[in-house]
Amino acid sequence: MNDTSPQAGSTAGPTACVLVIGNEVLSGRTKDANINYLAEELTKLGIPLVECRVIRDVEAEIIEAVNACRAKYTYVFTTGGIGSTHDDITAKSVAAAFGLDFGTHPEAERILLAHYGDKANTARMRMAMTPAGAHLIDNPVSKAPGFRVENVYVMAGVPVIARAMFDGIKGTLKGGRIMVVQTVSTIGISEGMIGEELRVLQDHHASVDIGSYPFLKFGGFGTNLVVRGADKAQVEAACADIRAMIKAAGGTPLDGETEGEELK
Amino acid sequence: MNDTSPQAGSTAGPTACVLVIGNEVLSGRTKDANINYLAEELTKLGIPLVECRVIRDVEAEIIEAVNACRAKYTYVFTTGGIGSTHDDITAKSVAAAFGLDFGTHPEAERILLAHYGDKANTARMRMAMTPAGAHLIDNPVSKAPGFRVENVYVMAGVPVIARAMFDGIKGTLKGGRIMVVQTVSTIGISEGMIGEELRVLQDHHASVDIGSYPFLKFGGFGTNLVVRGADKAQVEAACADIRAMIKAAGGTPLDGETEGEELK
């Protein structure tokens, strides 16, 4: 969407950034599943996700990204690198980013000792270490907690755990204006056929963002036109004009998203 | 993996960065599929992918990310925002990042006129616009080309087109040392049970990177231990010690990756 829209340029409401920390995503071994989940959840809360970064398990790189992003966004969510092995260096790196001591968190220690009992060992108890003064994030799946320092939320990389952690904290986040989203689609009309008309329409409806997403269906192109805005009446007015534009181009407007093939 | 490994700290070989440009990924509407594909392909070429960023269709943000990353990495690959509609602002933004004029590329114009014939229109012909002096990237799927300026490769966001574009250029990239990767896995031994032994083992085999990835199978935890290094003999030596470590912990070492449940 364009850079003149109120949403894109707005700095009034809360914003979010996701840092995926893990060599395994960058090597292609693991497909990240957390970005999409957090994107959907944050959108529902009215907290636009403005940036994601995928970075390596390298202390200097974690420090740089955490410090750049925590200064820039209301919320930073990290995933990955808080397990029990030598390659889990996120917690220590976040402590360094904040210039805080790194040591055993008494409540985390209690949780892990209660969970592991006589199976507690050095590796597992490393998961009780946080930056000094960190607030724990509950892990109902495998107990070892995440934590928060100021506006940085440090969560596990394993998707089922990351989701459970986010579900536990999302009620504490200060949400923003929730966008109204409506989609008009059409089959047989490609975005190139209506690009100029759509540009005029976007200029006319400057209070909404119109995104154009092509797909393939029945061997031809189709287009999903997604209208996003804070005001329902303005979103609906733009959708009405989009339907008329599609008809004028010889197509049939369909309410809602059309699932395409190949281009997804 | 840790920050003392030769691969993680190395600046000797080529490096890569991927910039995914698109509000639709950040809103959660679209699941990115390009990062994983490019990660796998770059790994095969011996070009480590060091960072990915997902950013909005906002000119100032594209300029900032392109300029930060092109100075830092050997190769920058962007995906998204080069279609025919008003929300496609990547090409113009890349021109601005380089301080280059933005105008019609004669060869791109020829390709699009030949493809569209009398269906060429203003919106479609915008896809012939590039930064001045850009080198085109072939698009065998839908013709509208990508382009390269210096070390920045601008590709489509639609995965089938992004892949075709990358396949066309990958032969021109200067590859690096291709890593040898071997995996030893075990079922029933969680990484927490062997974390300290593994740390000692990693310290002993400092020339390789050992990654530990937990999974769930048959209701219990298992672990994939991925060994990555430039030298095959050293990777195999580390794997031999990992097998011995797993046996000492009462487990059975398995050659290769074990597919787990839930934690993928």
Same domain for A48 and A113? yes
**pLDDT recorded at residue A6:** 37
Residue B100: pLDDT over 50: yes
Judged on CB neighbours under 10 Å (0-12, 13-18, 19+), A71 is: exposed
Least Cα separation, residue B81 to chain A (angstroms) = 9
Q: Which helix (H) or strand (E) holds B241?
A: helix B232-248
Per-residue pLDDT reduced to its tens digit, B77-89: 999 999 999 999 9
CB contact under 8 A, A85 and B198: yes
Question: Nearest chain B Cα to A54, which residue?
Answer: B52
Question: CATH number, domain at B161?
Answer: 3.40.980.10
ipTM of the complex: 0.92
Q: What is the distance between the alpha carbons of residues A32 and A155, in angstroms, rounded to a whole number?
A: 14
In a domain, B186, yes or no: yes
Is A19 part of any domain? yes
Residue of B43, B57, B87, B191 for testing the chain A interface, max A β-carbons within 10 Å: B87
Among B111, B138, B172, identify where a domain stops: B172
Which pLDDT belongs to residue B37?
A: 98
- With a cut of 50, say whether residue B112 has pLDDT above it: yes
Write out pLDDT tens, residues B192-249.
999 999 999 999 999 999 999 988 887 788 999 999 999 999 999 999 999 999 999 9
Has residue A9 got a pLDDT over 50? no
As for how many domains chain B has, the answer is 2
A38 shares its domain with A81? yes
Please write the tens of the pLDDT for every residue from A42-73: 999 999 999 999 999 999 999 999 999 999 99
**Using CA atoms, how far apart are residues A57 and A132, in angstroms rounded to an integer?**
21
Instruction: Assess whether A146 and A241 both reside in one domain.
Output: no
Contacts of B192 in chain A (CB under 8 A): 83-84, 116, 121, 123-124, 127
Domain extent at residue B56:
6-172
Closest by CA to B108, choosing from B77, B85, B138, B79, is: B138
Residues B205 and B159 in one domain: no
Q: List CB contacts (< 8 A) between A28 and chain B.
A: 36-37, 39-43, 49
**B-chain residues within 8 Å CB-CB of A262?**
160
Is residue B57 located within the same domain as residue B152?
yes
Q: Is residue A260 part of a domain?
A: no
A2 with B87: Cβ contact below 8 A: yes
What value does the mean pLDDT take over residues A238-258? Answer: 96
Give the end of a domain, one of A172, A190, A225: A172
pLDDT, residue B263, reads: 55
A162 and A186 together in one domain: no
Which CATH number covers residue B207? 3.30.70.600
Q: Inspect the interface and report whether the beta carbons of B191 and A85 lie closer than 8 Å.
A: yes
Closest by CA to A26, choosing from B262, B41, B151, is: B41
Please state, as a whole number, how many other Cβ atoms lie within 10 Å of the Cβ of residue A118: 6
Task: List the single residue in A with minimal CA-CA distance to B48.
Answer: A27
Tell me what the mean pLDDT of segment A136-146 comes to: 96
Whether residues B64 and B129 share a domain: the answer is yes
pLDDT of residue B110: 98
Q: Looking at the structure, do residues A97 and A38 belong to the same domain, yes or no?
A: yes
Q: Residue B209: closest CA among chain A residues belongs to which residue? A: A87
Residue of B nearest to A199 (CA): B86
Minimal C-alpha gap between B14 and chain A (Å): 14
Of A3, A42, A43, the CB nearest to B59: A3
Distance from CA of B132 to the nearest CA of A (A): 22
- A263 — pLDDT class (breaks 50, 70, 90): low
Q: Which amino acid is at B156?
A: A
Residues of A in contact with B228 (CB under 8 A): 27
Among B28, B87, B210, whose Cβ lies nearest the Cβ of A212?
Answer: B87
Same domain? A245 vs A161: no
Contact B156, B169 (CB under 8 A): no
- B118, closest residue in chain A (CA to CA): A193
Q: Are A213 and A168 within one domain?
A: no
Residue of A nearest to B203 (CA): A86
A196–B121: do the CB atoms touch at under 8 Å?
A: yes
Residues B218 and B156 in one domain: no
B76/A23 Cα distance (integer angstroms): 18
Mutate to test the interface with B, among A27, A32, A59, A64 (most CBs of B within 10 A): A27
pLDDT at B184: 97
List Cα–Cα distances, A148 to A135, A170, B260, in angstroms.
5, 13, 29
Lowest mean pLDDT among A237-251, B144-158, B215-229: B215-229
Mean pLDDT on B241-261: 92
pLDDT at B5 over 70: no
Can you say how many angstroms the Cα of residue A51 is from the centroid of all Cα atoms in its chain?
A: 8
Is A263's CB within 8 Å of B85's CB?
A: no
Domain boundary among B172, B207, B240: B172
How many interchain CB pairs under 8 A, A with B? 230
Residue B119's closest chain A neighbor by CA?
A193
Contact assignment for B199 to A40 by CB distance below 8 Å: no
Partner residues linked to B214 by β-bridges: B223
> What pLDDT is stored for residue A8 in this prediction?
39
Cα-trace Rg, chain B: 22
Residue B264 lies in a domain: no
Answer whether residue B158 is part of any domain: yes
Asked if A32 lies within 8 A of B31 by C-beta distance, the reply is no
Decide the pairing of beta strands B75-79 and B102-104. unpaired
Do both A142 and A35 map to the same domain? yes
B153 part of a folded domain: yes
Interchain CB distance below 8 Å, A28 and B50: no
| Mean pLDDT of the region B154-163 | 95
* In a domain? residue B64: yes
Residue A264 within any structural domain of the chain: no
Query: What is the enclosing helix (H) or strand (E) of A60?
Result: helix A59-72
